[in-house]
Structure 1
């Protein structure tokens, strides 16, 4: 366990990945906060395995306001939070086969109507941005604002800010149970007893299990396995290659270094929450799909890994008080866009828990679509 453990706290956050860490940083200046993390290292299962990028259209139209509002914090954080930004420009292409023009049209038009800077492009422009793209891939939507996110740096900055503000972190501290008592909850974790006024469930893939351990009904959080591989190519593909995402959701890849890419089959295999590992078949599928798009010979699969991503039934993040017990608060179901939306979700939820209202673009986001009450 990392810090001296108190016997009481205002807010107990279960899970110290990006969701829990960002909320702790936003809330700790105003409330007593404690984080409990089952693993040796915060962010082990999802945050630490993410190939995260800020991509305004990722997650769909309902999620887009959270992503847009988070951009400024990620690009230009306050000096006391970080002395540098967490974004590196990359650009993105949502690409389609010649038979998928209508799908790309719909995608581009829908987000353009929401004010996203998105440009419909065709074969020649695609070929200039993706060297070696095959002739049948003629349709794409281009977004110049896409960026890579320094996930490790962002997560570490949130943990530092939380601890500077007085938050307590306990690692190797699996949550066991909680029961309602006067003024809050009697909590047990890793053999330690704690009184908490409020419990925040930021446990990712384990969110429904944590709810059950508190006597709260689940909302249906489902974890999925996502596979990634780093390939070394036998051609000099540039490191600044855009993020390339199939409009039909069958693959994405992006440049990692000169002649190297990160590739995913965009898989979402339902799993029970556990320490996932990549399946050889998923890596093979990813390579087969890549080779249908580009004519790049592959020299080696240098590494492969898998992580967890978790969704609510409607695939929209869930944050806010449980409809049956306002002392139990959800912060879950962020899917693959939890990192790019973390600043907005943390600030909006912290406001519900006693922090001042969020300023700027975040303060203009309506939290109502993300409330747990929609599952009542």
Structure 2
């Protein structure tokens, strides 16, 4: 099957860029699983935090927020709901909090009393200092992903499930991808394979960029008794010892771990989760009596922890859309727009400085 563009990966990155490309090109998404969004895209904390990701992607976050506030391209329903993100610090976390506040925007510092009023299970010593980004909002990830998937199909694009790339080569100006579902060809290939992005590059004979997946555990905990948690913000320790947020009447908790690993279908590690819950117990009055459900996801980082967006300088028609490292959901509207514009040769909305900061040309790829 021949199209203008092949997208490898059916997570939010791949589906969103494919939907944007399909307005002007024929596109096929190759997804290795039986449905889209089964890996990191389906295991997100699902919150938009303007200051998350650092200065390098601040402009990206601003562009993404415009889309989230007006998502009529993919849905008439709201994608965001109010939540807020509160960062708290023990004495040993003050440096980390100061580093965050140095570049953060639209963030208000709070007293300990303020912090405990917003989340009364915190121990006072866990919130000697605090700050809040009141504009942080939860994201309806299912609506976002499926909205882009529907847009892709309306524009004539296709999603091929159960189609992992077994071999990739280039001849006569076309990339050829062999999968169990058949052979696909296109002059442009978009590497949106998440944790497997470097493996896809190596299969294509292209030097990897040093992308490393990191496992992060998460769990659902019962809501603390005698507390109405509905209006609580997401609460994050400034040194990333843990975070938690209300979710469907319960608490979603993560130990904020980042364990370097190989690309895989990640699973929760009981010991890592227990260690995180122990840290958490030192900062709250709430006693965790049971874990209702646990899981893990992979957050894949480039060496400089900045996403990689752009054509590979060493391989014609090979486009990187990878290394989002935990910000893939919230940046997907802006990064997919940037990627599609670069591939189609359209004007770019983001500044030249941001585009250069994201480009794979900033690396010297190792040999495969």
Same fold (TM over 0.5): yes
| Superposed counterparts of 1:95-134, under 5 Å | 95-111=88-104, 116-134=105-123
Structure 1 191/125 Cα, relative in aligned 2: closer, same or farther at 3 Å? Answer: closer
Are residue 372 (structure 1) and residue 366 (structure 2) matched?
no
CA contact (8 A) 1:240 1:256 kept: no
Q: CA deviation at 1:75?
A: 2.4
2:65 matched to which residue of 1?
71
Q: CA deviation at 1:183?
A: 2.1
2:168 matched to which residue of 1?
178
| Superposed counterparts of 1:210-289, under 5 Å | 210-235=200-225, 236-258=227-249, 260-289=250-279
Are residue 351 (structure 1) and residue 344 (structure 2) matched?
no
Q: Which sits farther off after the overlay, 59-68 or 86-95? A: 59-68
Structure 1 191/343 Cα, relative in aligned 2: closer, same or farther at 3 Å? Answer: closer
* SS of the residue 1:348 aligns to: helix
CA contact (8 A) 1:23 1:346 kept: yes
| Superposed counterparts of 1:183-194, under 5 Å | 183-190=173-180, 192-194=182-184
Distance (Å, rounded) in 1 between the aligned partners of 2:141 and 2:272: 24
CA contact (8 A) 2:97 2:239 kept: no
Distance (Å, rounded) in 2 between the aligned partners of 1:191 and 1:153: 27
Distance (Å, rounded) in 1 between the aligned partners of 2:86 and 2:194: 29
CA contact (8 A) 2:57 2:354 kept: no
Q: CA deviation at 1:50?
A: 1.3
2:305 matched to which residue of 1?
315
Cα-to-partner distance string for 1:279-318 (whole Å, 9 max, x where unaligned): 1112212211221111012242111111111111111100
Q: CA deviation at 1:176?
A: 1.4
Q: CA deviation at 1:355?
A: 6.0
* SS of the residue 2:130 aligns to: strand
Cα-to-partner distance string for 1:70-115 (whole Å, 9 max, x where unaligned): 012112212x42011211110011111033334323321322xxxx
| Superposed counterparts of 1:326-337, under 5 Å | 326-337=316-327
Cα-to-partner distance string for 1:97-154 (whole Å, 9 max, x where unaligned): 033334323321322xxxx211122211111111021121211121001011111110
* SS of the residue 2:34 aligns to: coil
Distance (Å, rounded) in 2 between the aligned partners of 1:59 and 1:249: 14
* SS of the residue 1:104 aligns to: helix
Q: Which sits farther off after the overlay, 223-232 or 298-307? A: 298-307
CA contact (8 A) 2:211 2:303 kept: yes
Distance (Å, rounded) in 1 between the aligned partners of 2:248 and 2:184: 47
CA contact (8 A) 1:318 1:333 kept: yes
Which sections of structure 2, spanning at least 5 residues, go unmatched? Answer: none
1:143 matched to which residue of 2?
133
Distance (Å, rounded) in 2 between the aligned partners of 1:183 and 1:48: 35
State the superposition RMSD in angstroms: 1.6
CA contact (8 A) 1:19 1:342 kept: yes
Q: Which sits farther off after the overlay, 208-217 or 91-100? A: 91-100
Q: CA deviation at 1:175?
A: 0.5
Which sections of structure 1, spanning at least 5 residues, go unmatched? Answer: 1-6
Distance (Å, rounded) in 2 between the aligned partners of 1:127 and 1:344: 35
The number of residue pairs the alignment matches comes to: 362
1:40 matched to which residue of 2?
34
CA contact (8 A) 1:89 1:146 kept: yes
Given the two structures, how large is their TM-score scaled by the length of structure 2?
Answer: 0.94
Q: Which has the higher strand share?
A: 1
Distance (Å, rounded) in 1 between the aligned partners of 2:248 and 2:150: 30
Question: Deviation above 6 Å: which 4+ runs of structure 1?
Answer: none
Distance (Å, rounded) in 1 between the aligned partners of 2:237 and 2:344: 42
